[in-house]
Chain A
Amino acid sequence: MIRIQLPYHLQNLGGVGPEVTLGLEPPYTVRTVLTALEARYPALRSAIVDVHTGKRRPLIRFYVCQQDISHEGLDHPLPAAIIEGREPFLVIGAISGG
């Protein structure tokens, strides 16, 4: 099971807690994880990947195993620690704006 941690506002939007788990079949990429997340929680659709552009929203970042993979593209493969659920996939919103 893949663990995903979400920022506060997306927890409220999706009606979920700080961390959700998803069962997923290969391939294991950023794109497939987010697609599965949106399928399970439709209220989150377009909140992380803009449905109009197909790109990560600029004020959102992705971290895996303490590495920022935000600029690696949505088809970036996920490491074994994420796939096996030992580490969470972090979706982080920029801390800015007031």
Chain B
Amino acid sequence: MGKVRVLAGTRKGAFILTSDDKRRDWKIEGPFFGGWEIYHFTGSPVKPDRLYVSQTSSWFGQIIQRSDDGGKTWQQPGTPPGEATTTPEGFPKAESNKFVYDTSETSGAPLTTHMWYDGTPHPWEFKRVWHLEPCLRDADTVYAGVEDAALFKSTDGGRNWKEMSGLRGHGTGKFWSPGAGGMGLHTIVLDKSDPKRMYVAISAAGAFRTDDGGNSWKPINKGLHSKYIPNPTAEVGHCVHRIAMNPQKPGVLYMQKHWDIMRSDDAGDNWYKVSGNLPTDFGFPIAVHSHEPGTIYVVPIKSDSEHYPPEGKLRVYRSKAGGNAWEALTSGLPQQDCYVNVLRDAMAVDTLPSCGIYFGTTGGQIYCSPDSGDNWCAIARDLPAVLSVEVQTLS
């Protein structure tokens, strides 16, 4: 019998929800790190009990937490309690909460500036980790997307972080500017078929791809049209909310942008719009069915000014055609007086035979559909505002 573990990051702590493959009865544990914003909570696909948390606070800064036993116990990987903070020779030891932009002459890129909201140059400043992406092949390797946008990598389970400075330094960085929520690198997609290829998305710079393991990067925003920027088809400057890919079909990407659902069939080299018959194509998350690479899910919200579902009806939209033709999924979802939002990292799928779809709302609910979206039920109703949802399918 299979088991499912949902990892939820919320504004007031992390929660773990577990169930069997029926996905009807759920046990909820938490809050872990109660009172803290948990921007992301995820687990290693190689060692599922290896969990990582981005615990962040405007008061006390960034903490990376790690569990090696499925959430029973936690530690900051760089500074286990009671351990000396320097080596016997007096050198500072690893600090898992340190994300230092690499400006070294040999491997780094000049820190310079990025663009601020008003178009003026602004210095790069680390604020928080938005997203953690464990490696598909090694439990101790994990990537971190941070604000101000940059990509970091750890190869020792989160103890040390080194910037992959080829991204920030590839040349367009000075034109990157923040979105409403800050300039965060919020999405990291690893290509299961090619360990040297990965994709990232930044608000509000756009999407980028590396084909050489992160040494060099290129913008992949051709085909995007953003009418609110001076040059609507610029190389960078687009507010990409999320990108998603099914590992069975690498190179086919889907994007939820600040308006528009987009698709690329060539690893991001070219994008085309697939919003089709959606009532509105503004939203944050996008997810792909784990067994049907052409089945995608979005949660439209009214507009960039009104971040709630149209008509007060919470509807997930599914396309089984890779876009353009969409159907509303409503069974079990509130169809009146519902004004919650679903954030970009708050939707996920499991890999059970009947693919389960999950999403968390800013109203504190987590919904699950055990049948690919046909029917939904709330598996948690009263959590704090949900910031992220990931799902592990365990045997």
Contacts and interface: CB of A to CB of B under 8 A. Distances in A.
A93 B60 contact: yes
Contacts of B59: 7, 9, 57, 59-60, 93-94, 97
Given A45-B79, A52-B98, A9 B57 contact: yes
A9 B36 contact: yes
A59 B58 CA distance: 7
- In the A-B complex, the 5 residue pairs with the smallest Cβ-Cβ separation, listed nearest first, are A42-B79, A47-B60, A59-B59, A93-B59, A42-B85
A39 B35 contact: no
Interface residues on A, range: 20 to 34
Given A15-B81, A45-B95, A51-B61, 7 more contacts: A42-B81, A46-B62, A48-B60, A52-B98, A52-B99, A57-B60, A60-B59
Interface in A30-86: 38-39, 42-43, 45-48, 50-52, 57, 59-60
Interface string B112-129: 000000000000011000
Given A46-B97, A51-B98, A10 B60 contact: yes
Given A59-B58, A97-B58, A46 B81 contact: no
Contacts of B97: 45-46, 51
Contacts, number: 59
Given A46-B97, A52-B100, A57 B61 contact: yes
A10 B81 CA distance: 14
A21 interface: no
A57 B100 CA distance: 17
A97 B63 CA distance: 19
B382 interface: no
Interface in B86-103: 95, 97-100
Contact of B76 (A38, A43, A51): A43
28 contacts: A8-B35, A9-B57, A9-B59, A10-B60, A12-B34, A12-B35, A13-B60, A13-B63, A15-B81, A38-B85, A39-B85, A42-B76, A42-B80, A42-B81, A42-B83, A43-B79, A45-B79, A46-B61, A46-B98, A51-B61, A51-B98, A52-B99, A52-B100, A52-B125, A52-B126, A57-B61, A59-B58, A97-B59
